Structure 1
Amino acid sequence: MLPIEGIPNVPNFKGLNTAGTNALISLGGAALINAVFGNYWGVFNEYGIPILLADNVISMKYNNTSKIAQAPVEKGSFACYNKVANPYKATVQLSKGTGGTLMRGAFIGQIETLAASTLKFHIITPEYVYTNACITGYDTAREASDGAQLIKVNLHLEEVREVVVQYDTEEVKNPDDAKPKDGGEKQPGKVNESLLSQIVSSAKGLFK
């Protein structure tokens, strides 16, 4: 990234390059979908297939926060450091009123199944794509003003961040040069009684 006047030349700008790349990917994905399919809203699976038989997407709420750790220092003051981004949370409100009782029942059953799964989904809007979210819950509502047949569902999703576990192998000529490994807590074993202790115990038994 080119240097900017007034900003120190910090490598990677403390994650700014990565965050900017992720934003461009989501923005470009939304632009491509918008160009092909038009203004499209909804919750899709990882392969871009709509997962719910909803009639409309009524609203979408998005929340993205971060935490800054604080630690006490001398003279009672606090030092702030290490900003950590929390997983984003989103609520998508869907509606279903067509298709008769059977289709509305299938819609609710589909939500029940997906809410109990560990599948990941993408939230697609005309301007942006929010990726890798898992359904954490939902709530439904029926109001007299909307008619008894219209079902409104608030679908709650939260971002899932996957990590790759790396396993390292170490080869050393001398086993004593190997790094110590934590084997976890171990229960103390029974200590074997020495021969001298056995003789003393036997001698004490003779004088009782």
Structure 2
Amino acid sequence: MLPIEGIPKVPNFKGLNTAGTNALISLGGAALINAVFGNYWGVFNEYGIPILLADNVISMKYNSTYKIAQAPVEKGSFACYNKVTNPYKATVQLSKGTGGTLMRGAFIGQIETLAASTLKFHIITPEYVYTNACITGYDTAREASDGAQLIKVNLHLEEVREVVVQYDTEEVKNPDDAKPKDGGEKQPASANKSLLKSGYDFVMGLFK
């Protein structure tokens, strides 16, 4: 983790080291893109390739919220014990008016396909990069003041955070020392007759 000036050297002090590192990564990515390509706006896939055939990015709205967990206690009071980050939400407004009917139709079809997928995208602005977002929906609009051929699309995205599952293996010298595993509820099976009991029943049946 990167050190932050003015913060005691305590591992992940109140989560600020992690938050500061993530912010510096997004800020540095935007600075690199700005240095190479200039002031660039758009929605890119995980490999840095533009995903939409839009003419312009008209606007971008970003919303980030945090939640403080609270619990009621005695005498009408409450206690706060944790603060967590909610997934950020963003709306990118794109426009498409060139290319004729075929290209505008391909633009809408592309948005429809990406909105139904589970792919992750990055929102790139000249100042900052918002990473790992999934398209949750979109809406389109056409206004007489803009002309019948200009299509405006509001692309709604929400942050996705993947969880890494870790599987541990237990090694013991004696198999009896292994921890019991819950196999769920099982139906009782009927008891099998022993060979001796089966032979006895067979012999007794001969004398009947």
Q: What TM-score, normalized by structure 2, do the two folds share?
A: 0.84
CA distance in 2, matches of 1:6, 1:161: 29
Q: Which runs of 5+ in 1 are unaligned?
A: none
Distance 1:194 1:71, change over 3 A: farther
For 1:25-65, what per-residue CA distance to the aligned partner results, in whole angstroms no more than 9, with x for missing partners?
11000000001100000000111111000010000011111
**Aligned-pair Cα RMSD in Å:** 4.3
CA distance in 2, matches of 1:207, 1:73: 80
Contact 2:7 2:13 in 1 (8 A): no
Distance 1:2 1:151, change over 3 A: closer
Deviation larger for 74-83 or 42-51: 74-83
CA distance in 2, matches of 1:21, 1:73: 36
Q: CA deviation at 1:189?
A: 6.0
CA distance in 2, matches of 1:18, 1:24: 10
Q: Which runs of 5+ in 2 are unaligned?
A: none
CA distance in 2, matches of 1:114, 1:201: 71
Q: CA deviation at 1:182?
A: 3.2
Aligned residues: 208
1:61 is paired with a residue whose SS is: strand
For 1:131-188, what per-residue CA distance to the aligned partner results, in whole angstroms no more than 9, with x for missing partners?
1111010000011111111100000001111121111000112333222333345456
CA distance in 1, matches of 2:62, 2:2: 32
Distance 1:16 1:119, change over 3 A: same
Deviation larger for 180-189 or 123-132: 180-189
Q: CA deviation at 1:204?
A: 23
Contact 2:3 2:17 in 1 (8 A): no
Q: CA deviation at 1:19?
A: 1.0
Q: CA deviation at 1:4?
A: 9.2
Match of residue 32 from structure 2: 32
Identity %: 92
Distance 1:96 1:4, change over 3 A: closer
CA distance in 2, matches of 1:23, 1:151: 34
Q: CA deviation at 1:72?
A: 1.7
CA distance in 2, matches of 1:186, 1:89: 45
Q: CA deviation at 1:24?
A: 0.5
